[in-house]
Amino acid sequence: MIVEPAPAKLNLALHVRARRADGYHELETLFAFVADGDTVTLTPAERDDFAITGPFAAGLSREGDNLVTRARDAFRAGFGAGDRLAIVLDKHLPVASGIGGGSADAAATLRGMARLSGVALDDPALMAIADRLGSDVPACLVGRTTIGRGRGEQLTPIDAPRLPVLLVNPGIAISTAQVFAGWDGIDRGPMATGDALAIALAGRNDLEPPARALAPAIDHVLALLHAAPGVRLARMSGSGATCFALFEDTAARTAAAQAIRTAQPGWWCLETILA
């Protein structure tokens, strides 16, 4: 049995530079990962099986084409069938929330199958499979702080501080395609240079305005995070609606989380740390 973590992905900065002829967008983004997220368990079995558990299982229960099973099938097509597998996805991250839940789950499935099959995690063929599954899957496969370019698949590792993080989602799922379609097409310039924190502090998320237009609750989330004592940076991640705040220390993060849970008991909050 292989148990693979599928940690939440954050875009500490996300600069959209241009629309591409292939329908994608040219990006510069700073990917980071936290210590918590979903979990994928793979067990050799007599027949294939896939089950979803956890507090956000219901959000995927009617999905006929899950990224986990797509990753399983793509791995087999690339490396050979291998054993039949019983796969359990323990879903703790909100669905369609800008923190790479599906991409992280697919990447965890690829890592688990690679370990079961003796495939090196840095095998170029494995990264090619990840790239075909989605723009965020290569970064999730690497699972560490990187600068992403192109669609996000061209990765350069960079060190990141282990700062406390608070993730907040107001209970809203947003279509990534709709958010990208709402981008105004203006290139506001490249990311800064320097260490990861400097890049993040000087950066922006160009998808915030269209996401906030679709889900005004994001305004409320960001206002609460920006106002929290001890916050270093507050921003929306990915295409939203999850927002994050980096804090000076865990006490400040905990105090902010308690205040938000009291004010908005229906919101999802995760206290974690940059991994």
Catalytic residues: 9, 136
Q: Which two tokens stand for residue 274?
A: 């940059």
DSSP one-letter code for 23? S
Alpha helix (H) ranges present in the chain?
67-79, 101-117, 124-133, 137-142, 176-181, 196-202, 208-214, 217-227, 250-263
Element (DSSP H or E) covering residue 49: strand 49-53
Helix, strand and coil percent figures for the chain, each rounded to 5? 35, 30, 35
> Do 15 and 152 contact (CB within 8 A), yes or no?
no
Query: Token pair 């992280």 is at which residue?
Result: 104
- Give the count of alpha carbons within 13 A of 39, CB side only: 10
The residue with tokens 């995927």 is: 60
Beta bridge partners of 14: 29, 205
Edge-first strand listing for the sheet containing 268-273: 231-236, 243-247, 164-169, 268-273
Neighbours of 58 (CB within 10 A): 11
| Contact status, residue 145 vs residue 159, Cβ threshold 8 Å | yes
Cα separation of 50 and 88, whole Å? Answer: 6
Indicate the residue type of 34: V
